[in-house]
């Protein structure tokens, strides 16, 4: 075999292996997100949670968001690192722990050997503590999200993001040496910012408005990077309807009551939901168009072949989702990018994700830590138990809303 053939065969096997790699999370997992203010925003973490809840609605996975603004590897406003870990990680008995630190550790200045050594030593202490006190946890090291030196000029030679990339290199080496998992939340966001700035620099600046803390649009791309590192599937559903034979081929969906003729109709129940990307958020739209998130994580494909008329209107549950030529329908339309009942359902699930996490935040930051010395132990415990109950009720509502629902599809010739 010639070298070119060997290379092609190797690439083919690599692609096949990647496609067959199972999703990192498993039913029954308990995930704790640990980090600084960027994790404290509870945005990339909640996008990740909503993806899992809507893409695997039969699974029972818990998510705890334990970021604290200003944190370094030594801790911060929430206490020293050992206090943070003992209070905010270990009690949740995580089977998966993510760590994103570094933004504050570099002190927003040119690379400093002493600060870098402190970061390495502190990070090693965190990993050793997890190994001792969270023995069943799989650990994902997150290369820190970027400081925006893309849409604005760097404040010093090479810029602060170059410092973060050096910290990221250490994390790569550490993950390999300790056989841990790794996710890059820097380069994908920087790449997106570069493309967004080429389209609309003023709007692109708003994605990281203070150069550090992303808007939801930036966090969506961060969540996508984490999910891709975890081998998250792109598939929402894949349905092909043959109008000539009145048959359907499906993946991750069910088609019933298929009727063909002048009008084509069927009932479709998809096993999962698309990403909760709010079409009203213009920054979100810019970030999505400047990334590969739709191609890699949000494929809800509908194909209809054997159509006679040149153009068709698609309605789902009586509401227009779009108009398409027969060629577009034959090639496949991605429903995830359209205003469908499935998208609205996903957005409603995400709203509950945010709501239940806000309740946990109140329990943790206002009662457990914020009133540590202000209330009697019994009163404080009663308040926390009440908030835990409300949190659990909201999670139950979130999971119930994420369950598959049947929808009525109709294709009618358009003028």
By CB atoms closer than 10 A (0-12, 13-18, 19+), residue 179 is: exposed
Q: CA–CA separation, 33 vs 368, rounded Å?
A: 18
Position 18 pLDDT exceeds 50: no
Is 180:124 a contact under the CB 8 Å cutoff? no
For the chain, the straight-line distance linking the first and the last C-alpha, in angstroms and rounded, comes to 56
Whole-number Å distance between alpha carbons of 8 and 369: 57
Q: Which residues have C-beta within 8 Å of that of residue 404, sequence separation ≥ 6?
A: 57, 269, 270, 271, 272
Integer Cα distance of 275 and 347 in angstroms: 8
Q: Could you count the other beta carbons within 10 Å of the beta carbon of residue 180?
A: 17
What mean pLDDT comes out for the span 226-239?
A: 98
What phi, psi does 140 have (nearest 5°)?
A: -110, 115
Pairing of strands 333-334, 75-76: unpaired
pLDDT of residue 7: 37
DSSP 292-336: SHHHHH-EEEEEEES--SSEEEEEETTEEEEEEEHHHHHH-EEGG
pLDDT recorded at residue 14 = 40
pLDDT score, position 378: 86
The two three-digit tokens of residue 21, written as one number: 């790699």
**Angle of the 81-88 helix axis to the 113-133 helix axis, nearest 10:** 30
Residue 17 has pLDDT above 60, yes or no: no
Query: Tokens for 186?
Result: 């820097």
Where does 24-229 sit in CATH, by number?
A: 3.40.50.1110
**Burial of residue 312 (number of CB atoms within 10 Å: 0-12, 13-18, 19+):** buried
pTM, full prediction: 0.94
Q: Across residues 239-251, what is the average pLDDT? A: 97
Placement of tokens 């359902």 in the chain: 345
Give the mean pLDDT of 290-305.
Answer: 98
Mean per-residue pLDDT, 337-345: 98
* Whether pLDDT at 5 is above 80: no
What pLDDT score does 170 carry?
A: 98
Rg value, the chain, Cα:
24
Instruction: For 342-357, write each residue's pLDDT tens digit.
Output: 999 999 999 999 999 9
- Tallying the residues shown for the chain, one arrives at 415
- DSSP secondary-structure letter at 72? B
Reported as a single tens digit per residue, the pLDDT across 79-123 is 999 999 999 999 999 999 999 999 999 999 999 999 999 999 999
Instruction: Tell me the C-alpha distance between 165 and 146, whole Å.
Output: 8
**Mean pLDDT value across the chain:** 94
Q: What is the per-residue DSSP string for 133-185? A: H-TT-EEEEEEPPPP--SSS--SSTT-HHHHHHHHHHHHHHHHHHHT-EEEE-
Contact yes or no for 187/141 (Cβ under 8 A) = no
Of the chain, the percentage scoring pLDDT greater than 70 comes to 95
pLDDT of residue 20: 67
Query: Which pLDDT does position 376 carry in this prediction?
Result: 81
> Which residue matches tokens 């939901």?
273
Burial class (CB in 10 A: 0-12, 13-18, 19+), 364: buried
Cβ contact 225:294 at 8 Å: no
Instruction: For residue 410, count other CB atoms closer than 10 A to its CB.
Output: 18
Per-residue pLDDT band for 11 (boundaries 50, 70, 90) equals: very low
Domain boundaries, the chain: 24-229, 234-415
| Paired tokens of 69 | 């603004």
Neighbours of 181 (CB within 10 A): 15
Residues 6+ apart with CB under 8 A from 86: 133
């Amino acid at each position: 075999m010639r070298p070119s053939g060997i290379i092609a065969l190797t690439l083919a096997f690599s692609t096949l292996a990647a496609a067959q790699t199972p999703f990192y999370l498993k039913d029954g997992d308990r995930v704790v997100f640990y980090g600084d203010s960027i994790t404290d925003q509870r945005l990339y973490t909640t996008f990740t949670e909503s993806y899992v809840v809507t893409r695997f609605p039969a699974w029972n996975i818990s998510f705890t968001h334990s970021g604290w603004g200003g944190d370094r590897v030594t801790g911060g406003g929430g206490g020293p690192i050992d206090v943070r870990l003992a209070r905010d990680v270990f009690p949740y008995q995580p089977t998966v722990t993510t760590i994103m630190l570094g933004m504050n550790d570099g002190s927003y200045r040119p690379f400093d050997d002493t600060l870098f050594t402190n970061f390495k030593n502190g990070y090693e202490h965190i990993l050793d503590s997890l190994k001792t006190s969270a023995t069943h946890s799989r650990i994902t090291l997150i290369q820190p999200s970027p400081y925006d030196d893309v849409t604005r000029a760097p404040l010093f030679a090479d810029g602060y993001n170059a410092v973060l990339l050096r910290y990221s290199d250490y994390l790569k080496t550490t993950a390999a040496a300790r056989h841990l998992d790794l996710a890059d939340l820097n380069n994908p966001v920087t790449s997106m910012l570069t493309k967004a700035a080429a389209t609309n620099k003023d709007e692109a600046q708003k994605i990281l408005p203070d150069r550090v803390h992303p808007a939801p649009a930036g966090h969506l791309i961060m969540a996508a990077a984490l999910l891709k590192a975890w081998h998250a599937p792109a598939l929402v559903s894949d349905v092909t309807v043959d109008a000539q034979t009145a048959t359907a081929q499906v993946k991750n969906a069910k088609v019933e009551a298929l009727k063909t003729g002048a009008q084509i109709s069927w009932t479709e129940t998809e096993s999962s939901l698309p990403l909760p990307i709010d079409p009203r958020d213009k920054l979100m739209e810019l970030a999505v168009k400047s990334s590969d998130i739709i191609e890699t994580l949000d494929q809800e494909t509908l194909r209809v072949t054997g159509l006679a008329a040149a153009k068709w209107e698609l309605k789902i549950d009586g509401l227009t989702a779009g108009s398409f030529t027969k060629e577009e329908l034959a090639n496949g339309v991605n429903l995830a990018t359209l205003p469908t009942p499935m998208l609205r359902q996903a957005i409603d699930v995400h709203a509950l994700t945010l709501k239940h996490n806000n309740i946990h935040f109140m329990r943790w930051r206002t009662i457990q830590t914020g009133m540590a010395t202000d209330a009697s132990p019994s009163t404080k415990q009663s308040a926390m138990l009440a908030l835990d109950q409300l949190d659990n009720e909201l999670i139950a509502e979130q999971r119930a809303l994420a369950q598959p629902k049947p929808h009525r599809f109709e294709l009618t010739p358009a003028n």
